Amino acid sequence: MTEYKAKDIKILEGLDAIRMRPGMYIGSTGSRGLHHLLWEIVDNSIDEASNGFCSKITITLNSDLSISVEDNGRGIPVDIHPQKQMTGVEVVFTELHAGGKFSDENYNYSGGLHGVGASVVNALSSWLIVEVYKDGKIYYTEFESKYDPGTKKIESGRIKIPLEERGATKKQGTLVTFLPDKNVFESIVYNFETVAKRLKELAFLNKGLLIELIDLRGELPYKKEYFYEGGLVDFVSYLNENKKVLFEEPIYISGCNDTLQMSAALQYNDGYTESIFSYVNNIPTSEGGTHETGFKSALTRVFNDYARNNGILKEKDSNFLGEDFREGITAVLSVKMKNVQFEGQTKTKLGNPEARSLIENITVEKLSSLINSRGYGKIMESVMQKAVSAAKVREASRKAKEITRQKNSIENANLVGKLSSCTGKKAELNELFIVEGDSAGGSAKQARDRKFQAILTLKGKPLNAEKKRIDQVLANEEIRSIISAIGTGIGEDFCLDNLKYYKVIILADADQDGAHIRSILLTLFFRYMKELINEGHIYIGQPPLYKVAYRNKTQYAYDDKELERFTKNLGKGYTIQRYKGLGEMNPEQLWDTTMDPAARKLLRVTLEDATECEKLITVLMGDNVEARKKYISEYANFNKVDEFISEASV
């Protein structure tokens, strides 16, 4: 037995722990983690803006693949820290849990909670340079991560050039430039559109802030600017851009107390789904939280009071439900508060219990005053008509709640002939493959491992859930089968605890029809079962496009590039089979390529940017044909239609 003694315990000093376990700090070393580095630096500048010290931020994608972030804020402190006996800049970039956001003296509101952002970026970069423009002077320091042959390890983020004064300037603020370490990340190439989408969102959330994005990596410089004087009002108008709105100008409210300040904008469209996006200190809270709960409660309370006071609800009538008032709503809620408590490492759900009542009280006060003032009669008439219509759908048929009855009936839907369940009883180990067509379904049923893999065969494409009421969605037999098989219910009745399969895998042909089916199913999950996406339960199977046979060997290529790589040096005598559909594979081939956990490729569906996903689904799956044509003409690569549709769907 190997001895385990004190000498075997590793002590990681300074920033070494970050490099040893980067996933603990930035989530992954893939594209998401790479972009997280940028968000950490940008968020520091945004915190300056949120607290009234910064009006412009410039992000530059440099030709050497480094990236620069400059703001005109106060500038990171350059004086000596009393405890560490080094400058404030050096402390911020070399010490974990060091920053100006642990008290309320420097920042009333901040997205940074732990003081690890700047130091993490430094630790995972090959080099990092900071210039501070302060009190008419330029201050410069440089850090590097370098291999030490003596200790035989990489020293992370060490100071290469201590902070020094380098001339005079009229500028004020901070410039940070860093090169992510190619030995840490799978790629160090930033995606322009990913960066642009997040910066646009931040500009919406911080009205009056100018954000510039410059790309110097191409033959010619490319620049985009984001500036929204209307803030959240402009944000909601942007989200509803391709929808038919019930009134032109979004409703806007704002208020504050000693603990927090909030602002919200909302507007109704002729759709049937609810789109509420919330943020805390500029951080998207895609899973909601106490602030969103308080906001929704306030909407229900205020609009019901209005309905009572204006004779829309009679004395004998029951109040409208919250879902009646949220049908067709697009709203953005932004909260800035002290002592934020997020649930989980991803900061996607607010946990502060006091936020619910505080947000509800402010919203009730401000919204009540606004909608009862002159000039809001027409707006409220359309809101009330929308609620009345939603309530009728909910209450009309069979003298009961039509939607609830339909939802309950789903649990007893007949799945005979459609669902081949697995024998395993542990949901966390089980997988559900959703397959379209008898041929593909039959092959999948023979190929699967019955212990943990279930197959749901759809007969034809399900209904496109975009722009459909929930009762219309539930009337579709294929959708009822999907909901019944998964077990969680949908909409207001959704319960993740009832999930029967922890992996729900869309397995469609690798062609345009397959891409369309994926798009339809992803739209259903996004609109009515979004938590399945948020919690990482939705996957897309990746069947191969080609089978390459050469002598006694067989290889499978999943795209054209892989096919070219396989066949490049084969010479003559090989054959290529192009799979038109899953049904062309025999069960052994389908298992080997697509269903075997040890060999398959699965694409997990994530929700990186909920607002952009909302807009994209509206464009691609909605009724606005002109908007869809415009998007396709701008973004489609017609040489790779399959790839475009699939990626756009995800």
Find where tokens 């509206």 sit: 618
Question: Given 155, 343, 511, 559, which residue is catalytic?
Answer: 511
Q: How far apart are CA 297 and CA 290, in angstroms?
A: 11
Are 454 and 485 in contact by the 8 Å Cβ rule? The answer is yes
Question: Given 16, 513, 562, 642, which residue is catalytic?
Answer: 513
Cα–chain center distance at 182: 25
Closest CA to 471 of 394, 408, 400: 394
Task: Say if strands 453-458 and 419-420 run parallel, antiparallel, or are unpaired.
Answer: antiparallel
Q: How far apart are CA 505 and CA 537, in angstroms?
A: 8
Q: Clarify whether 71 is annotated catalytic.
A: no
**DSSP codes, 448-473:** S-TTTEEEEEESSPPP--TT--HHHH
Q: How far apart are CA 73 and CA 53, in angstroms?
A: 5
Sheet order of strands, 275-280 included: 251-256, 260-268, 329-337, 275-280, 283-284
For the chain, give the number of residues.
Answer: 650
Q: How far apart are CA 301 and CA 367, in angstroms?
A: 10
Residue 290 sits at φ, ψ, to 5 deg, of: -65, -35
Q: Clarify whether 509 is annotated catalytic.
A: yes
Residue 617 sits at φ, ψ, to 5 deg, of: -65, -40
The CA-based dihedral angle spanning residues 17, 23, 29, 35, taken in that order and rounded to the nearest 10 degrees: -100
Q: How far apart are CA 409 and CA 81, in angstroms?
A: 66
Question: Given 436, 466, 478, 592, which residue is catalytic?
Answer: 436
Q: Clarify whether 513 is annotated catalytic.
A: yes
Cα–chain center distance at 52: 27
Q: Clarify whether 436 is annotated catalytic.
A: yes
Q: How far apart are CA 315 and CA 301, in angstroms?
A: 16
Angle at 272 between CA 268 and CA 273, to 5 degrees: 85
Q: How far apart are CA 310 and CA 307, in angstroms?
A: 5
In this structure, what DSSP letter does residue 182 have?
T
**In angstroms, what CA-CA distances link 566 with 402, 545, 592?**
56, 13, 18
Q: How far apart are CA 533 and CA 537, in angstroms?
A: 6
**Residues in Cβ contact with 405 at an 8 Å cutoff, skipping those fewer than 6 apart:** 397, 398
Question: Given 509, 592, 612, 614, which residue is catalytic?
Answer: 509
Are 563 and 551 in contact by the 8 Å Cβ rule? The answer is no
**In angstroms, what CA-CA distances link 58 with 38, 46, 175, 463?**
12, 11, 9, 44
* Residues assigned a catalytic role: 436, 509, 511, 513
